[in-house]
Amino acid sequence: MQKAGGARESIAADKETAMESCIFCGIQAGTIPSARLYETDNLYAFLDIAPANKGHALLIPRTHCADILGVDPALGREVLEAMQRIARAVVSVTGARGFNIIQNNGRVAGQEVDHLHWHIIPRFERSEMPLWKQGAYESQEEMNRLATAIRVQIGI
């Protein structure tokens, strides 16, 4: 029979294995090369190797977590400050007319690297990158029902 601590130990071991094989853990540690843009004790930013546009940056927390649900919310202020500084510099250097900040969670949402990262993508033309196709609700009532269910789930 497994000891009480067994499950906890194996979850910790799984996380260690994920971090050892994580390319972005290696990049922030400097064991895998990257084109560095910005760093603090908690954050690291570098150029995406396959950019949507040249200047496409990635911002990551140094501490491994798979997606937005795993990160310490206390990091929020530092993340916003880093985004502003990186985006201003990328726009200024590339001559972009705007930029997108995108963050994918899960394969179905387009996430390929399972270490939380924000994309900062300089934009030059509206037509160069499709965003989402706009849909519709069947009725105002359907929309209200969904909003109510989500509010209840949030717990406010």
Q: How far is the CB of 111 from ligand 5GP (least distance, A)?
A: 4
25 touches, from ligand 5GP, Zn ion, none (C-beta below 5 to 8 Å by class) = Zn ion
Tokens, residue 133: 């196709």
Tokens, residue 39: 């760093």
Size of the site for Zn ion (CB under 5 A): 5
Select the span of 46-54, 65-73, 83-91, 125-133 touching ligand 5GP (CB under 6 A): 46-54
User: What is the longest distance spanned by two Cα atoms in the chain?
Assistant: 63
Tell me which residues in 94-123 interact with Zn ion (CB under 5 A).
115
CB 114 within 8 A of CB 22: yes
Does residue 59 interact with Zn ion by CB under 5 A? no
State the Cα–Cα distance between residues 58 and 116, nearest whole angstrom: 10
Q: How far is the CB of 136 from ligand 5GP (least distance, A)?
A: 27
Tokens, residue 82: 């880093």
Does residue 108 interact with ligand 5GP by CB under 6 A? no
Select the span of 3-11, 86-94, 107-115, 125-133 touching ligand 5GP (CB under 6 A): 107-115
CA-based nearest residue to 38, from 50, 46, 30, 49: 46
Does residue 44 interact with ligand 5GP by CB under 6 A? no
Q: Which of 56, 64, 115, 117 is catalytic?
A: 117
- Of residues 41, 112, 125, 138, which one binds ligand 5GP by CB under 6 A? 112
CB 123 within 8 A of CB 99: yes
Active site annotation includes 117:
yes
Q: How far is the CB of 65 from Zn ion (least distance, A)?
A: 8
CB 59 within 8 A of CB 117: yes
State the Cα–Cα distance between residues 34 and 2, nearest whole angstrom: 42
Q: Which residues are catalytic?
A: 117
